[in-house]
Each structure stands twice: as structure tokens, then as C-alpha cells.
Amino acid sequence: MDKEIEFKIENNREICKELWEKFSPQVYVYDNWVFRECFNKQTGYPLNFVVGFYKEKPIGILPLEYDTDNKCYEFFGDIFMEYNRAFLAPDFLDCKAKFYEVVPLPAELQMMSDEELVYLKCEPEIFTYYLDIFKMNSLDDYFRTYFNSKRRGDFLRAIKKIEALNPEVQYNNLADLDVLFSLNQKRFKDESTFSRENDKNFFCDLLKTNLDFEILSVVINGKTVAVSFSIFYNGRYEYLANGADVENYPFVGTYLNLMSIKRAIERKMSAIDFGYGEAGWKDLWHLPKKSLFCSIKK
């Protein structure tokens, strides 16, 4: 029997938070209210959650905000967020398409999970990369799974070149976050994760939360030459940003990524999320990938 669902737009932040906590499956860090709110606070975009009701009880949300700069509706948290989707109670998943039918217009729904393909016409937008590591006990397991002997040798030689410089791996030196910003911008320029000041402020605000973040730094001769920022969340290692002085230390970017994979394996994570965009190395490292999708509604 077709369920009669009624909808309303909710703008009240506390009510939106309560509904998010009720319906979010908390699989990825992007499903965490505190994480998303850190970015929303940078933009100040008003919340516009589409809330579905069945017999006057809420049964799910499509978490949107209104981008006052571009004059359109988008997912809560701006374009940095991944795996966007509607959150519904299990008994009402067959009603998800109705939520997209009532999206206010114009809307730019980006970085959507492939879960939404069943409910909404959308197009592939970009790849996001990950690595399942639940069966891995060491970096050697990663090397043996994805590379032939020649490529494994390349990685081992890169490690030896950096280790010959007596590097020190340090954790959670908060001052190194500024080093990460600088190194990332220097290397990627306009494509940097931190091309907007909001992006830097977002990461600074994450340090003030109770999320289990980790800053991993590679220090050579007393100088920080590579930094990554990750969050341990629900058994996943969310590898959110990195920066490396590859100009002066050609293999330190490789070393940083390998130390991050090693760290995730040591912490018994089930997977690593490397995020969207190829960044010039992810395909070469044979990382599995999946599409994120978008739907532009005018």
C-alpha cells in the first residue's frame, strides 16, 4: 500500500540536529553532525532540511542547506562532503524517491552516494577512493595484494631513500596543521584542498571537537616536511588531507601515504577513505574507487 507521506522544511538548528542524530546511519565521518556543522558554520548557510512525516511522526530527512552565494539548495555541509544521501527509517526506504520529488529549487545535489541511484536520476560526478584493510596485518599485505614484485621494489626503495635521512614520525603536533595548509597549497595551487579560507577554518574547528583526529607528521633534520590529517571513525580511517615537500624530498609524499596506511592497519581499521579526486597518485597505487553522483534541478 502506498504510504501517505507529508513533508515540511525545517530550519531550526536544534530540531535539525535531533532529526540527524535520529536517522543518520553513522557509517562515514560525513554522517556525523559535528563534522558537518564545522563546515556549515564557516559558510553560515541556513539549514533547509526536508522532513518526511507519516501519521504525524518523522520518518526521514533530506539534509539540505541554502547556499546564499550561489542561490541554490545543496546538501548540508557544502561541497566538501561526500556520500550525501537521504536518511530514512528502515521501514520507509521505499519512500525515498518522494523526498527528492519535493526538493526546493534550484538545487545542486552533489557528491551523492550510489545508494541514491535507485531513487533519483543522476549522473556520475567524480571518483572517490578507498582501501579495504580489514584482512591486512602489515604494509606487506597491501603490497602483495595490489602490486607485482617490480612495483613492490619501487615502494621499498622509496621507503629506504627517506629512512636514510633518519625521519621521525610524530603525532598530533597541532602547529603542523599550518604546515599542511602551506605544503598542500604549494603543491596543488588552485586545486588545493585549502584554496578557500573556509577550508582552513573547517580543519581548525575539527581540532576543537571530540572526533578522534590524528595529525601525522614526517620530520627530517628538525623540519616538518610532510603532514596528513585523518579521523578514526566507526572503524574507518578517514584520510582527509595531506601535504608534502616533494620538491626538496622527492619520495616523502609516498612515504607519508605509506605511513598513513601502516597507521590505519596498526589501529585495526576496516577501511581507509582516501576521498574524492585522483590527486596524481591514487590510480597509480591501484586504490579501488567508486563514483559519486550529482543531480542538478532547476
SS3 state at 53 = strand
pLDDT in tens, 97-129: 999 999 999 999 999 999 999 999 999 999 999
pLDDT at residue number 79: 77
Q: What is the pLDDT of residues 38-57, one digit of tens each?
A: 999 999 999 999 999 999 99
User: Hey, what's the torsion of the CAs at 9, 15, 21, 23, to 10 degrees?
Assistant: -30
- pLDDT over threshold 80, residue 3: no
pLDDT at 31 over 60: yes
Backbone angles phi, psi at 221, to 5 degrees: 55, 40
* Model confidence pLDDT, tens digit, residues 150-188: 999 999 999 999 999 999 999 999 999 999 999 999 988
Per-residue model confidence (pLDDT) at position 157? 95
- Average pLDDT for the chain: 96
Asked if domains 6-121 and 129-291 share a fold, the reply is yes
Q: What is the pLDDT of residues 201-216, one digit of tens each?
A: 999 999 999 999 999 9
The residues spanned by each domain of the chain are 6-121, 129-291
Residue among 281, 224, 254, 244 at smallest CA distance from 158:
254
Q: How far apart are CA 14 and CA 65, in angstroms?
A: 14
pLDDT at 191: 81
- CATH for 129-291 is 3.40.630.30
Mean pLDDT confidence for 25-36:
98
- Dihedrals φ, ψ of 148, to 5°? -80, 175
Q: Which amino acid is at 97?
A: A
Q: State which fold the 6-121 domain adopts.
A: Aminopeptidase (3.40.630)
Whether residue 106 is preceded by a cis peptide bond, meaning omega within 30 degrees of 0, is yes
Instruction: Give the model's confidence band at 257: pLDDT under 50 very low, under 70 low, under 90 confident, else very high.
Output: very high
pLDDT band at 1 (very low <50, low <70, confident <90, very high): very low
pTM for this one?
0.95
The pLDDT value given to residue 2: 63
- Per DSSP, which regions of the chain are E strands? 6-10, 49-54, 57-62, 64-67, 72-75, 87-88, 107-112, 123-132, 168-171, 212-220, 223-233, 236-244, 271-276, 289-297
Q: What pLDDT is attached to residue 78? A: 85
